[in-house]
Amino acid sequence: MKFSSVIRKFTVLLALATLSLAVMNCSKKDDGGDPSPQGQIVGSWKFTNLFVKEGSSPEVDQFPIITAFLPCFKDIVIIFNANGTVSGTVPAACQGDVDDVVGDITQSKYELKGDQLILTDSDGQQSSMTVSFSGNTMSWTETDTDGGVTTTTRVVMTKQ
């Protein structure tokens, strides 16, 4: 298994989680919701799975491994705001680890173009991944090829 690829993906996820350090927002009452992807993404989300598939190997859920080393990871909340910004909350127990891995990211924006979720950090760097929704879950899928081996990472989040 290519561990550096998993770490890189995990770092992107942690970067999103750090966005919440300064921002808390009130939630609106849900009126049944907007069925479009733009309407579905708005809200608070928690990580529930991190599947990695390398080459022809079976897909493996790395979430239990991550939470074994960093138990507070399961309590990180990512908030996609209707205005295209991302915020969230990081438990105090994760603060040092998150800051050590990705530093302090003060703001990020998101955009949905078809089935692509485009995240732009405060430095203007963009990450793009395929996004899909099923009920109260959202999945992000990203594929990288390195040295002829294709690695697919699928992050699953549950709406709170």
Rounded to an integer, what distance in angstroms lies between the CA atom of residue 73 and that of residue 12? 13
The domain limits of the chain are 3-25+34-159
The predicted structure's pLDDT at residue 14: 46
> How does the average pLDDT of the chain come out, rounded?
78
Arithmetic mean of pLDDT, 46-75? 93
pLDDT tens track for 98-142: 655 443 344 689 999 999 999 888 788 888 999 999 999 999 999
User: pLDDT tens across 5-36, in order?
Assistant: 545 555 444 444 443 333 333 444 444 555 66
Q: 3-25+34-159 domain in CATH 2.40.128?
A: yes
pLDDT > 80? residue 1? no
| CA gap 109, 90 in Å, rounded | 18
User: Which runs of E-coded beta strand occur in 18-136?
Assistant: 43-54, 60-61, 77-80, 85-89, 108-113, 116-121, 126-134
d(CA 14, CA 21): 12
Confidence of residue 38 (pLDDT cuts 50, 70, 90): confident
- Predicted TM-score (pTM) above 0.85: no
Q: The tokens 């680890």 sit on which residue?
A: 97
pLDDT of residue 23: 36
